[in-house]
Amino acid sequence: MMQSPEQIKRQQELDRKLKENLGRIRKKLFVLSNKGGVGKSFVATSLALIAAKKGLQTGILDADIHGPSIAHMLGFAGMPLGVTEEGIEPIGVRENLVAVSTASLLRSQDDSVIWRGPLKMGLIKQFLAEVRWGELDLLVIDSPPGTGDEPLSIAQLIPEMCGAVVVTSPQNIALLDSRKCISFLNQLKIPTLGILENLSGMVCPHCGKRIDVFKIGGGKQAALDLQIPFLGAIPIDMAIVEASDSGKPYVLEHPESEAAKVLGAIIEEVTKL
């Protein structure tokens, strides 16, 4: 379909704003998984929270258009995005941290987004180009599961990604999917920072015995097989569930937890890139 002169002009203006915006962001970190339900959004929000706590000017983009959860996890569900003549204003979550999510565009948290690829790609481009991110040290992008339209759009729109964190759980099916993520990143020439194993066993709160709910060690073995770094393992913790449901920052309230230590180490590595 041919575009009208007005549409062409609009796209050219978006491209200009996109280049300008991305030029103000020092590092862009891609967080993805090829399977849903492995805790990718928890990892993305926690990385952003830790970076902001360290004094880095940080943004987080919830690119999971069909299942946005960042707003709920960070406690700004129901808050609309501000729109001015200068652009779209991100949500100020806390000191040094701003966020944008599709959830802020929905009238109700029960509303669904029934869009095809071009509309989703257009929204991601608009978020990157027209949101007033400002000068950022780090932008964390929470990608939807899989390697479809949205992750591909993000990779094409942000060619200078500093790296990607692949989140998996220990089950064999999740590990197989993670290998597809690594292949996706390799084809697009995005550096893989490593594999992070989430839901890696749990400690019984009553007897203290370790229970391997989904077994453990699969993420480490996959990293060895693929010759990429293993970023660590995060055990199941009911406090994470409670914090995520209530919009509280688990990693900040439990700085000595295994999750906080593992994710903090990732941010330390990102700052060295």
Which of these, 258, 220, 223, 222, lies nearest to 239 by C-alpha position?
A: 258
pLDDT of residue 24: 96
Helices (H) and strands (E) in the chain, counts: 10, 12
pLDDT of residue 221: 84
240 to each of 49, 97, 173, 236, 253, how far by Cα in Å?
Answer: 14, 20, 24, 8, 10
Low-confidence ranges of the chain (pLDDT < 70): 1-2, 106-117, 174, 215-216
pLDDT of residue 195: 94
pLDDT of residue 107: 58
Q: Which domain holds residue 106?
A: 5-272
Q: What is the domain count for the chain?
A: 1
* DSSP structure class, residue 236: B
Burial label for 202, CB within 10 Å (0-12, 13-18, 19+), is middle
pLDDT of residue 116: 63
Q: What's the predicted TM-score (pTM) here?
A: 0.91
pLDDT of residue 80: 83
- CATH at residue 259: 3.40.50.300
pLDDT of residue 115: 58
pLDDT of residue 270: 96
